[in-house]
Structure 1
Amino acid sequence: MTFVTLPNDGHLWYSIRSASSPKAPLVLVQGRGLDHHGWDSVLNEFTNRPIILIDHRGTGQSTASLNSEWSTRDFANDVVTILDHAGIDRAHVYGHSMGGRIAQWLGAEHADRIITLTIGGTSVGDGTGLPRPTIGAAALASGDPSALASLFYPDVWVAANPQQATSVLPEPHSPEAMSIHSKASDRPDGPAPEKITTPTLILHGANDPISDPGNAAILGKRIPNSEVLMVPDARHAYWAGKPDVHSSVAKFLSSNDPN
């Protein structure tokens, strides 16, 4: 694990999981209020390339003075700061939920550092997409773990994997940190999708109650050089119980790896 100093205040935690393969690294970017443990249930599906895990400001082992003006653009710049610190010129980026919003900034403003984007269960960064479903908004506002788990995962999967189900639930440093993350996630200040020039794979659960599935089609129409993969009978964590999903992601990454 490594810490990098933020330009203004605090430190970002990140860790690089090495691999014997020379494939390009993959940065995993989670959603609001989540640290790197939100990816625990999928790490074994990307063992053939180096993985960069990040704790956002206000989560996990990262530290920073809380600021109500944090934005998804700030979080995107944090990713670039980590790439710089790690001496990595270019990487693939996979962002889920708010992480997908963060990834949109990377594709729009830092395309020279990004090989591909994979964005899942997310919305249109500039606010022109579909609003959050009412049931999802209520569950996020309540913070109730059981309610959230049932919106992320199929009921059968939750029953079989209770520990992994709760690992994707927000555990910020404080209620204030969660509030700041929520405001950043909901603020419609992202880039226009047309500005994203990086090859992009868009994933979405067809039954996602957190982010309207219709956003995937909107992003697919507006992001050049993109493709959409809708996952049938899936909720917000569309990969749960569906190994073929990340097999498709792995193929997408490999097909775009630098020679």
Structure 2
Amino acid sequence: MSPRAVAGDGTGIGFDVRGDGEPLVLLAGQANSRHWWSTVRGDYAAYRTVVLDTAGTGTSDDAADHDWSTRRFARDVVAVLDEAGIARAHLYGTSMGGRVAQWVAADHPGRVGALVLGCTTAGGPGAVAPDPQVLRRLADPGENGVELRRLMAGPQVAGPLPVLGDDTMSPAARAGHRRASARHDAWAAVPAITAPTLVLHGADDELTPPANGRRLADRIPGAELVVLPGARHAYFLEPRATREVLRFLAAHPLPAPPAPGAR
């Protein structure tokens, strides 16, 4: 059985830790469990990877206080770090996980080393919405599955995809995730982020248009922006994306802990 952290409201959050090296927390997208990372987690074997089931997914409980928000999910991440005994970690969040990561970095700067934000948005007045036709097809039960796969990876990617949703979620949790993602607004908060930040985006991302990545990078002091030509929303499943993340993390190692007795 995987370990569990307990959030401030009593919600149990399932997680697991694998490997050695500097800790790296991987945060999944909306309505997905830690399985989101299953096909690429091994690519980060040089790090001590931490993956968790966002409240309402996988082995985690539904939000006990019914507070479905990205800022609340960020507090759950901190609870996982506390339970795992990790004082500071690199953070890589994609899609809704990137929204959550923004709040971790803004509200808990001392817990974050390097920050990678992928296929995401700061929300608020700077958000760029998808084409209305994309939203219409996603809302249509007859088209949703085909459209989601197209948006994530396109027809050139064969076989199962780990990013098409957690079918064990309760209806309340699924609605809560949609609400949390749609209402995310860290526009005023992200300029205060002090962590070295890489913003990654697929140039052909129709679910979260790439203008969101550009605007997010412009809001965070010193942030680096990389736009991957031809990549869609699930760009992070591609080896070239992993190379960019590993390059950035290597350039921004965690600071050494203070020596015993140091002031």
Using structure 1 for the length normalisation, give the TM-score: 0.91
With 54-63 and 130-139 compared, the bigger mean Cα shift is at 130-139
How far is 1:142 from its partner? 3.8
The corresponding residue for 2:204 is: 207
Unaligned runs of 5+ in 2: 257-263
Q: Please name the residue that 1:155 is paired with.
A: 155
RMSD: 1.7
Match in the other structure for 2:244: 248
Letter in 2 for 1:145: G
Deviations along 1:190-237, one digit per CA (max 9) or x if unpaired, are 252212111110001101011011011111111002100001001101
Contact 2:14 2:60 in 1 (8 A): yes
Given residue 187 of structure 1, which amino acid in structure 2 is its aligned partner?
Answer: R
| Partner amino acid, structure 1, of 2:154 | P
Residue 14 in 1 paired to residue 15 in 2? yes
Larger Rg over CA atoms? 2
Aligned position for 2:78 = 80
Amino acid at match of 2:28: Q
Aligned residues: 250
Matches within 5 A, 1:1-259: 1-19=2-20, 22=21, 24-65=22-63, 68-142=66-140, 144-157=144-157, 159=158, 162-163=159-160, 165=161, 167-171=162-166, 172-192=168-188, 193-240=190-237, 242-258=238-254, 259=256
Q: Counterparts of 1:155 and 1:42 in 2: how far apart (Å)?
A: 20
CA distance in 1, matches of 2:63, 2:215: 36
Bigger shift: residues 131-140 or 70-79: 131-140
Structure 1 residue 67 displacement after superposition: 5.1
The question of whether the paired residues in 2 share the 8 Å contact of 1:151 and 1:235 is answered with: yes
Whether the aligned pair in 2 keeps the contact of 1:30 and 1:38 (CA below 8 Å) is yes
**CA deviation profile, 1:99-128 (whole Å, cap 9, x unmatched):** 111111111111100001101110123342
**Equivalent residue of 1:132, what SS?**
coil
Q: Which runs of 5+ in 1 are unaligned?
A: none
Task: State the SS of the aligned residue for 1:16.
Answer: strand
Shift of 1:138: 2.9
State the alpha-carbon separation in 1 of the partners of residues 84 and 12 from structure 2: 14
8 Å Cα contact 2:11/2:64 also seen in 1: no
Determine the C-alpha separation between the residues in 1 that align with 2:109 and 2:133. Answer: 35
Q: C-alpha offsets along residues 61-100 of structure 1, whole Å, 9 cap, x if unaligned?
A: 0013565531100000100011011110100010000111
Structure 2 CA distance for aligned equivalents of residues 139 and 18 of structure 1: 40
Q: Give the structure-2-normalised TM-score.
A: 0.89
Tell me how far apart the structure 1 counterparts of residues 202 and 57 of structure 2 sit (CA, whole Å): 26
Percentage identity across paired residues of the two chains: 36
Q: Which amino acid aligns with 1:148?
A: L
